[in-house]
């Protein structure tokens, strides 16, 4: 856990240096990214908000994700995480958003996608970066690993600004 706290402290320093305000939209991690970020003192100086949109209906109603996109591609898709980020940019004061959606396990009859399949998006008004990862641990390990990778992606995105 120490390494994630150190990375979040680095994220804080980078965000402050580059005058960036962050919000997150989480599905499969259920708020774990927000938890890691808010574990450090002073997180309110660079972190505005988090929304957990676990169900498809909450993705639609809270983040304005298109029901057609969900129907055509599924909740665990590049298209959906991009729409989650765009929606969050529109409803928050943040200038950088992160979204994550995946299948943490165990298997469900409702999807044909592999357990551990996860999409992450980081976006500002000018560009976006999406990442696909496949995790292979238990449900709790997959959630932890996905949240940590999302934070690393967020750090890299801001560092490249």
**Model pLDDT, residue 106:** 78
**Model pLDDT, residue 109:** 57
Q: How far apart are CA 103 and CA 111, in angstroms?
A: 9
* pLDDT beyond 70 at 110: no
Which residues, at least 6 apart from 5, have a Cβ–Cβ distance to it below 8 Å? Answer: 36, 39, 40
Domain that holds residue 76: 2-159
**Model pLDDT, residue 108:** 61
Q: How many domains does the chain have?
A: 1
Task: Read off the pTM.
Answer: 0.95
Which CATH number does the domain housing residue 14 bear?
A: 3.90.950.20
Quick: pLDDT tens for 127-146.
999 999 999 999 999 999 99
């Amino acid at each position: 856990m120490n390494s994630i706290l150190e990375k979040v402290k680095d994220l804080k320093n980078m965000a402050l240096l580059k005058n960036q305000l962050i919000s997150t939209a989480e599905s499969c991690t259920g708020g774990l990214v927000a938890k890691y970020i808010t574990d450090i003192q002073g997180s309110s100086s660079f972190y505005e908000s988090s929304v957990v949109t676990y169900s498809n209906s909450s993705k639609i109603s809270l983040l304005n994700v298109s029901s057609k996109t969900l129907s055509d591609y599924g909740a665990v898709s590049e298209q959906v995480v991009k729409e989650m980020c765009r929606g969050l940019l529109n409803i928050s004061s943040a200038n950088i958003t992160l979204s994550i959606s995946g299948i943490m396990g165990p298997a469900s009859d409702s999807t044909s996608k592999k357990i551990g399949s996860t999409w992450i998006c980081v976006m500002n008004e000018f560009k976006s970066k999406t990442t696909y990862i496949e995790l292979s641990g238990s449900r709790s390990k997959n959630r932890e690993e996905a949240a940590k990778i999302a934070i690393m992606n967020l750090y890299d995105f801001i560092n490249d600004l």
